[in-house]
Each structure stands twice: as structure tokens, then as C-alpha cells.
Amino acid sequence: MNKKIQLQDLGNKDYKATWDYQEALFKEIVDIKIQKRSNTDLVTPNYFLFVEHPHVYTLGKSGDLSNLLLSEKQLEAKGATFYKINRGGDITYHGPGQIVGYPILDLENFFTDIHRYLRFLEEVIILTLAEYNIIGTRSEGETGVWLDVGTPFARKICAMGVRASRWVTMHGFALNVNANLGYFDNIIPCGIKGKAVTSLHVELGKEIDEAEVKEKIAKHFQLLFEAVFVLD
């Protein structure tokens, strides 16, 4: 079991180019797993990508296109793009000021339980928010991390959507840190009506050091997954 994870910070990168890169890493791991049937000495790698995307809306495979409230021309006017993709979940937004994390892991290096995997991703964010004295929680039946669940002020701060095949994961989470929340007005986020979204800088009333947030996410991810990040 390989507990090392190659950490890459891609900076600001186009969504489609990043998706293609994820697919290539995903395929690499799957191909090695197939070869391992005849050569058990082979070791599968793991990756974790940090990235920030230009304005983009993505719709999961079970999503409803009507949750995108913009026409093609309106998307273009806002400088945003749109993609239907192969993760779970409905529609979400990515853009500047948002930290996106894509763990591309062979879960057989860690544990083979996709529900536990999702709960661990949520816990990474919950522990990170706690370092800013913000109480993040889960909302029953809804993935991601929320604030003030069970009150009229419930709001989502981190969206999640993953794909897994042969116990290899891709896609991941999107934490609003210094995000322009106006872009969420153009969708029904995650297909959930009447629920607000928020960002760390809104909750704290100041701009947040994104590099510092990434360090905290990386720390908690390594502890929960009992892994070691290796800079790539």
C-alpha cells in the first residue's frame, strides 16, 4: 500500500485542461492496477491537485440542466464557460478565490469505502474551518460542508462531487475562500433551492491568505488519510 501522495499546485488553470489532466492521471493509475494482476510488485501512485479555475459552471452526470439559469450568450457575457462532466452531483460554480482540490487516489492504498472517503473529504474542510473559528457541519442527505445547518441561515461553504472507478477517485471539493458569490446567483447550486452559499472571507470580514488555507487543508488531509504529501 502506497501512502505517498504527489502534491501539485496547478495555480490558475483552465477547467477543461485540468479535467483532461485528471483523466490522464486517473487512466495511469487504472492501467497500473490492471497490470498488477500479473505483476504484484507494481505500485500505484496517488495524486492531489490544488487548482483555481477561471469562471466556469459544471454539471454532474445526474444533474439537471435547468439549474443553469444563463443562456449561452449570457455565459459568454460573464466570461464564463460550461461543461457537463462525469462526477456525481448537480451543478456548481468554480472561479477565482476558490480553492479546488482534486485527489486522484487509488483507495486500495488507503481503504475501500467510498462513503468513508466522502466523509473524510468533508472532515478535512471541517477541521480547516475550525482553525478560523468557524463551525462547519454536514447536512443530512447533502454532500459538502455547511454553516448553521438546521437554521433559516444555513449556507454552503464547500461543494463536493467525486467519481470513482476500480477504487480510483477523481474530481473532489471546492472551498469558497475569497470567491465572488455573485456568480452563484446564475445557478441553483447543487440543485438545492432556497439554500445560500458563503465564502470564508465573507464569514470573517476580511480577505484570506489562500496559501495558508491550502497548507491547513494539506495538513488535515495527510493526518486523516495517514498519508505523506510529496511535492511534485
Which parts are annotated binding residues for substrate? Answer: 87-94, 159-161, 172-174
Is the pLDDT higher at 6 or at 78? Answer: 6
User: Cell digits for 13?
Assistant: 488553470
Question: Quick one: pLDDT at residue 6?
Answer: 98
Residue 57 pLDDT more than 60? yes
Residue 56 pLDDT more than 70? yes
In the 8-state DSSP scheme, what is residue 68?
Answer: B
* Separation CA 230–CA 124 (nearest Å): 18
Question: Quick one: pLDDT at residue 205?
Answer: 98
Q: Give the up-direction half-sphere exposure of residue 37: CA atoms within 13 A in the CB hemisphere.
A: 5
Arithmetic mean of pLDDT over the chain: 93
Is the pLDDT higher at 63 or at 200? Answer: 200
Question: Quick one: pLDDT at residue 76?
Answer: 87
- Of 228, 181, 216, 180, which Cα lies nearest the Cα of 101? 216
Residue 121 pLDDT more than 60? yes
% of the chain exceeding 90 in pLDDT: 74
**Pairing label, strands 81-84, 56-59:** parallel
Residue 138 pLDDT more than 80? yes
Is the pLDDT higher at 45 or at 90? Answer: 45
Residue 189 pLDDT more than 70? no
Question: Quick one: pLDDT at residue 133?
Answer: 98
* Separation CA 170–CA 131 (nearest Å): 27
Active site residues: 190
Residue 173 pLDDT more than 60? yes
Reported as a single tens digit per residue, the pLDDT across 13-44 is 999 999 999 999 999 999 999 998 889 899 99
* Separation CA 99–CA 187 (nearest Å): 19
Which parts are annotated binding residues? Answer: 87-94, 159-161, 172-174
Specify which residues 142 forms β-bridges with. 139
Residue 191 pLDDT more than 80? no
3-state helix, strand, coil split of the chain in percent (to 5) is: 35, 30, 35
Q: Give the up-direction half-sphere exposure of residue 210: CA atoms within 13 A in the CB hemisphere.
A: 19
Question: Quick one: pLDDT at residue 143?
Answer: 84
Q: What is the b/e burial string over 45-55, where b = at least 16 CB atoms within 10 angstroms of the residue's CB?
A: bbbbbbbbbeb
Map out the domains of the chain as residue ranges.
4-231
In words, the CATH class of domain 4-231 is alpha beta
Handedness of CA 53, 9, 111, 38 (dihedral sign): positive
pLDDT band at 62 (very low <50, low <70, confident <90, very high): confident
Average pLDDT (140-168) is 93
- Model pTM? 0.93
Average pLDDT (193-221) is 94
Average pLDDT (94-113) is 97
